[in-house]
């Protein structure tokens, strides 16, 4: 048996492939465009492993996706591929519409054509799983209840609007054409292979390089953090047992203001890799201009996936963040690889000199 998974050279996708192949011999066909966020070094340990087949290409390339589906006859397609960084979507929303909206549309059309002519038993068991985000729900006040699956969509950034559009397409392809879809909406992930444009790896690497740790606005925006491998296990669980047409919110009950996250990171670094001058990394914290339209608070009500599918996160924030810091300290070659080239241009554009 085979699954086709898109975007697996990125952060969550590559963690998914590692988690999947650690407990299954089912082949993964990995379709990835290798944008700035795609990195085959994330999959280096799988070199020579016949269970992982990498295909360089775009989810919006109908001819390529049609051919992959014909050739590999997957029992499921999982869509991780996306433009994923909110700040980049503010600077240039076009790519987000192209991949997240148009790309998902073309992928759905290819999958629909493939699924429609499958023999009946395979048609019944086939699944299209769409990986989405809690950002589609908009922002919460401090006293609002966390996002349940019934919460209306109120996306506020070009990124979240493009993801919301893709979720709506997936929903419509189920209701209109009967495509057996599942959608997951997850909160902020962190862990190995996280590209250092995002808060946690950015702060970690800046701290070690003696640079400023940029906090947008007052640093009191709240995110709900989940260790990436817990997210990957939840996706597998939804694929195995999720009810067709349903959405599942995934989160770790770990709401934290950004400033607290950064202070925790600094404290773990103080312990594992103390500064040469004996000072604390927290001294590098710098307040910078806020993100336009910055959502104040995200929080996930994960009771549905816990109750119906028996999923629970294995890591707390405290255990997950230690594992993450340790991973970045050990994997210096990976860090040097991703922080060269195009990444430097981004840092210059976003944070100035």
Task: Please give the residue ranges that form the binding site for ligand NAD (CB under 6 A).
Answer: 6-7, 9-13, 31-35, 37-38, 58-60, 80-84, 99, 103, 131, 133, 163, 186, 188-189, 195
Residue in 33, 52, 130, 198 binding ligand DAU, rule: CB under 6 A: 198
Residue showing the smallest CB distance to ligand NAD in the complex: 10
Single out the segment in contact with ligand DAU by CB under 6 A; choices: 18-26, 45-53, 105-113, 213-221: 213-221
Which is catalytic among the residues 114, 137, 159, 298? 159
Contact set for ligand DAU, span 300-339 (CB under 6 A): none
Tokens (6 digits) for 96: 């987000």
Which is catalytic among the residues 32, 134, 167, 301? 134
Residue in 215, 265, 268, 269 binding ligand DAU, rule: CB under 6 A: 215
How far apart CA 178 and CA 159 sit, in angstroms, is 27
How far apart CA 165 and CA 97 sit, in angstroms, is 9
Residue in 89, 258, 284, 324 binding ligand DAU, rule: CB under 6 A: 258
Quick note: the x/- pattern for ligand DAU over 107-136, rule CB under 6 A, is --------------------------xxx-
151 binds ligand DAU (CB under 6 A): no
CB of 219 within 8 A of CB of 289?
A: no
264 binds ligand DAU (CB under 6 A): no
Single out the segment in contact with ligand DAU by CB under 6 A; choices: 81-89, 235-243, 312-320, 331-339: 81-89
Query: What is the CB neighbour count within 10 angstroms for residue 208?
Result: 17
What is the smallest separation between the CB atom of 222 and ligand DAU, expressed in angstroms?
Answer: 8
Between 317-330 and 199-208, two packed helices, what is the crossing angle to 10 degrees?
A: 50
Residue in 221, 229, 254, 324 binding ligand DAU, rule: CB under 6 A: 221
CB of 7 within 8 A of CB of 132?
A: no
CB of 88 within 8 A of CB of 94?
A: no
Q: Which does 199 bind (CB under 5 to 8 A by kind): ligand NAD, ligand DAU, none?
A: ligand DAU
Residue in 27, 110, 187, 263 binding ligand DAU, rule: CB under 6 A: 187
Q: Is 134 known to be catalytic?
A: yes
Q: Which does 321 bind (CB under 5 to 8 A by kind): ligand NAD, ligand DAU, none?
A: none
3-class secondary structure for 131-181? EEEHHHHCCCCCCCCCECCCCCCCCCCHHHHHHHHHHHHHHHHHHHHCCCE
Alpha helices by DSSP H, the chain: 11-23, 62-72, 86-91, 94-96, 104-116, 120-125, 158-177, 199-208, 228-241, 258-272, 303-309, 317-330, 332-338, 342-351
Tokens (6 digits) for 289: 């201009």
Please provide the distance, in angstroms rounded to a whole number, between the alpha carbons at the two ends of the chain: 50
What is the smallest separation between the CB atom of 222 and ligand NAD, expressed in angstroms?
Answer: 14
Interface with ligand DAU (CB under 6 A): 84-86, 133-135, 187-188, 198-199, 202, 214-216, 221, 223, 258, 291, 298
- What are the catalytic residues? 134-135, 159
């Amino acid at each position: 048996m085979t699954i086709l998974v898109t975007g697996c050279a990125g952060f969550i996708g590559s963690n998914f492939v590692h988690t999947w192949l650690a407990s299954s011999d089912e082949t993964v066909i990995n379709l990835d465009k290798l944008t700035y966020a795609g990195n085959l070094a994330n999959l280096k340990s799988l070199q020579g492993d016949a269970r992982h087949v990498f295909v360089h290409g775009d989810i919006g390339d109908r001819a390529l996706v049609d051919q992959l589906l014909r050739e590999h006859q997957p029992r499921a397609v999982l869509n991780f591929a996306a433009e994923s960084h909110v700040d980049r979507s503010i600077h240039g929303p076009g790519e987000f519409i192209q991949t997240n909206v148009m790309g998902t549309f073309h992928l759905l059309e290819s999958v629909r054509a493939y699924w429609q002519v499958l023999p009946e038993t395979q048609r019944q068991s086939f699944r299209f799983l769409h990986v989405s985000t809690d950002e589609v729900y908009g922002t919460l006040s401090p006293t609002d209840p966390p996002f349940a699956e019934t919460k209306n969509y109120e996306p506020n950034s070009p990124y979240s609007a493009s993801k919301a559009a893709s979720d709506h397409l997936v929903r419509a392809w189920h209701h209109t054409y009967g495509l057996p879809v599942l959608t997951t909406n997850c909160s902020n992930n962190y862990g190995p292979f996280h590209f250092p444009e995002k808060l946690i790896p950015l702060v970690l690497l800046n701290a070690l390089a003696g640079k400023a740790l940029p906090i947008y606005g007052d640093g009191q925006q709240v995110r709900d953090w989940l260790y990436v491998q817990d997210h990957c296990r939840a996706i597998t669980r939804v694929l195995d047992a999720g009810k067709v047409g349903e959405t599942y919110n995934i989160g770790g009950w770990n709401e934290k203001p950004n400033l607290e996250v950064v202070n925790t990171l600094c404290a773990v670094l103080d312990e594992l890799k103390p500064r040469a001058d004996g000072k604390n990394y927290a001294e590098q914290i710098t307040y910078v201009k806020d993100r336009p339209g910055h959502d104040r608070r995200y929080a996930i009500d994960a009771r549905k996936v816990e109750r119906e599918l028996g999923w629970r996160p294995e890591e707390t924030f405290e255990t997950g963040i230690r594992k993450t810091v340790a991973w970045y300290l050990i994997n210096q070659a990976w860090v040097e690889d991703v922080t060269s080239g195009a990444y430097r241009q981004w840092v210059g554009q976003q944070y100035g000199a």
